[in-house]
Structure 1
Amino acid sequence: MLIFPAVKASSRLPATSNNLHPEKHKDLYAVTEQVIARAIPLWNLSLTPVRLPLVSNRIKFKCPEYDMYLEDMSDSEGPRREDAKMSTNEKSAEKNGSATCRTSSNRNLGILSLVSVPPHLEDQYPIEGPRELKPDNTVDIWREYEEDGLQIIAKLANIHLTPEKPEYEGGTWHVEGQLHICASAIYNYDSDNLTTSRVAFRQQSNVQRAELKMSYPQGDHDFLEEVFGCEQGGSGVQDLVTVDNPEGRLLTWPNILQHQVQPFNLVDSSKSGHRKIPALFLVV
């Protein structure tokens, strides 16, 4: 369906949309327009970090740097290194400003020092805290598409459970498959006699590429697991978050994330229950 230009905070479907009869589904036109109008501001928020990754890195880091002198470490946390000395290579790296990471002889005792941006960009993107977004930096779908309108795919999903089938096993991990879908939205508008709906999110991470940009002792993978959330020899997929989606909540996310609807079941197993969720996919 195509959303033609409209005033902000509202949207208007064309007189005829695919699979929607203008008379039989007249009420559905109005409801769909309202849901889309409320999804667009959230899509703006979801897509802004994708456009401005340096501003919105979820994990801010550089190579790990371990403390050479652990003055504040208690006896129970490990031995003190009063006589710790840097090697010749470490001194040279520090003097020359090399990106090579330093480690103490006991690499398990250090503390990770995480920095948000590369040193040559610190003036533009201060590391003290997140940079405030300026209005001209954020995504504004209304402004950018007010002339041509938007193309949106809408899908209605209804799940019915019965005493004979009291559980929903959950969906599969997936990304919406169309090439030009850039963001998704789901709205839990009607739920009865079902436990809380939850949606999990994860993303693929190119850990091997990140490793090539880092210098660290052979076999020292502890910091990689802490930063990237991926185990050595395991899958390069990062689990991000699982979000509750109770009745009345609208969720949006960029189409770079995999998602999975989590299992749920009947609250009262002697009665039927249902959940009705329209899904919207923004096409660019």
Structure 2
Amino acid sequence: KPVSLRGRNLQVIVKLTNIQLTPSKSKYDEGNWHNEGPINESIVATGLYYYNVENITTPKLDFREAADCFDYEMASDMYWRDVYGIDRESPRNQYIGSLEVPNGRCAVYPNRYQHKEQSFELADPTQPGHCKILTFFVVNPSCRIVSTAHVAPQQSQWTTRVLTRHTYRLNCGMMPRSIFKVFNHQLKPNAIEMN
């Protein structure tokens, strides 16, 4: 049954991917089967936009879906293998198919589908190439997650800059340098370094 999202605020996690290939590293290795995001992100759908693909063989995505457990008679083993590609010892995943994602293609799919990127390589191995992807992870509208608007800065350069600016405003630059260093040092263990 379709779900109407009209008038509802959606939370979306955005990711940019830039895969660079060169004559010395001319192949992108196949990915692993996965669903997007940890359970606490409650991702229900993924939208991919391949916005800049140059000098690489056409990328492809493979999709599969977990199948429910099922019982069947040994005599019907052949039927399940022929129809579903599953036998008694197989993992309970059914291959759905693949999708070519050339330059300009947008693909949207539910997060219940596991997917993986197939390998691709430079079309002309003497020239560099790249694949740039804009990804939108749609969060379950029934589950609100903490927005980045409510998360303190995580990079040490940001905290140092903000601390410097506000310290100067509060006491016109009169805070002793030693106290400033203590504040800055206390903030660093929680910050992420860029290098």
Same-fold call, TM cutoff 0.5 = yes
CA distance in 2, matches of 1:205, 1:227: 13
CA distance in 2, matches of 1:164, 1:254: 36
Alignment equivalent of 1:164, drawn from 24, 30, 52: 24
Write the deviation string for residues 99-139 of structure 1: whole angstroms up to 9, x where unpaired. xxxxxxxxxxxxxxxxxxxxxxxxxxxxxxxxxxxxxxx33
Of residues 46, 56, 66 in structure 2, which corresponds to 1:184?
A: 46
SS in 1 for 2:96: strand
CA distance in 1 between counterparts of 2:38 and 2:47 reads 15
1:240 CA drift (Å) = 1.0
TM-score for both structures, normalised by structure 2: 0.66
Q: Where does residue 139 of structure 1 map in the other structure?
A: 3
Counterpart-to-counterpart distance in 2, 1:249 and 1:189: 7
Aligned partner of 1:197 in structure 2 is: 59
Other structure's SS at 2:115 match: strand
Task: Summarize deviations over 1:41-70 as a string: whole Å, max 9, x none.
Answer: xxxxxxxxxxx4xxxxxxxxxxxxxxxxxx
Q: What residue number does 1:271 align with?
A: 127
- Between the aligned partners of 1:241 and 1:230, the Cα distance in structure 2 is 15
Percent identity reads 35
Runs of 4+ deviating beyond 3 Å: none
Q: Quote the offset at 1:231 in angstroms.
A: 2.1
Other-structure match for 1:173: 33
Q: CA deviation at 1:203?
A: 1.4
Distance of 1:140 and 1:250 partners within structure 2: 21
Distance in 1 (CA, whole Å) between partners of 2:86 and 2:119 is 24
Structure 1 or 2: larger strand share?
2
Structure 2, unmatched stretches of 5+, are 141-195
Structure 2 Cα separation of the partners of residues 220 and 181 of structure 1? 37
SS in 2 for 1:220: helix
Q: What amino acid is aligned across from residue 115 of structure 2 in structure 1?
A: H
Alpha-carbon deviation of 1:221?
Answer: 1.3
Which residue is equivalent to 1:229?
85
Q: Give the deviation of 1:175 after TM superposition.
A: 0.4
Alpha-carbon offset, residue 171 of structure 1: 1.6
Question: Pick from 148, 152, 155: which aligns with 2:15?
Answer: 155
Counterparts of 1:39-54 in structure 2, within 5 Å, are 52=1
